[in-house]
Amino acid sequence: MLSAVIIARDEADRIEAAIRSVAFADEVLVLDSGSADDTVARAEAAGARVVRTDWPGFVAQKNRALSQAEGDWVLSIDADEVVDDVLAAAIRAAVAAPEAEGYVVRRRTIWLGHRLDGGFAWPDPRVRLVKKASATWVGKDPHDRLDARGPTPTLPGELVHTPYRSLREHLHTIDRYTRLDARRGSWLDVLVRPPWHFFRAYILKLGFLDGRAGLVFAALGALYVLLKWTRGHEADP
């Protein structure tokens, strides 16, 4: 049995697309952590089983979703992600005749309407399909990671990721996540890490092939790194 699990809060405008993309699963489970919009109603109307919860953090919430899934195989996606047809077929085949206890999917970012082919936006491999008994979410919020036992081969197809509705939302996310992810290092970290991130994203990982969108996306990534390492010093006199 395959369960698809989604954590959500205030995702009424895109939860249905996420659920439709995993309709091939035997169960679709949505954990809603206090939505003030129509997320719950729309998820239920789309055929998902909805569990209302609090918000204990990214890692804890995703482990909660994993534990409440009824299937022995679990596919985890976010509300801003959609499984394409090629990946859907590959997931069904992997569950029908498993050759591993976990599988990697390649995630494709669509940034403000631009399909990104370079930088850190592609192929962005993530373990997302696992045998429930062999996996757990680990990491430090907001950077969660699904850890599966043994080798994790990569499936064909794409997990299409549309993380931001606007530039304002992207900047708000950077502000929120860097407060969770603040690091305390030397001022050399502050000076060197942001331009190094930009150079890797834009030059080494070919972000320049995405034109202006690739440039801005790499620059926003560098801004994230700058704030992450600067905010570790906010308490300094």
pLDDT by residue (tens digit) across 19-42? 999 999 999 999 999 999 999 999
Point out the residues of the chain with pLDDT beneath 50: none
Q: Looking at residue 232, what is its pLDDT?
A: 83
Q: Which two tokens stand for residue 129?
A: 């399909």
Q: Which two tokens stand for residue 136?
A: 């757990």
Query: Is the separation of the CB atoms in 167 and 220 below 8 Å?
Result: no
Q: Looking at residue 63, what is its pLDDT?
A: 98
Q: Looking at residue 236, what is its pLDDT?
A: 56
Q: Looking at residue 235, what is its pLDDT?
A: 54
Q: Which two tokens stand for residue 122?
A: 């592609």
On the question of a cis peptide bond just before residue 125, with omega within 30 degrees of 0, the verdict is no
Query: Is the separation of the CB atoms in 225 and 143 below 8 Å?
Result: no
The residue behind tokens 């794409």 is 158
Q: What is the pLDDT of residues 153-189, one digit of tens each?
A: 999 999 999 999 999 999 999 999 999 999 988 989 9
Domains, the chain, ranges and CATH?
Answer: 2-161 (3.90.550.10), 167-233 (no CATH)
pTM of the predicted structure, to 2 decimals = 0.93
**How many other C-beta atoms are found inside a 10 Å radius of the C-beta of residue 166?**
9
The residues that bridge with 102 in the sheet, in sequence order, are 130
Q: Looking at residue 233, what is its pLDDT?
A: 76
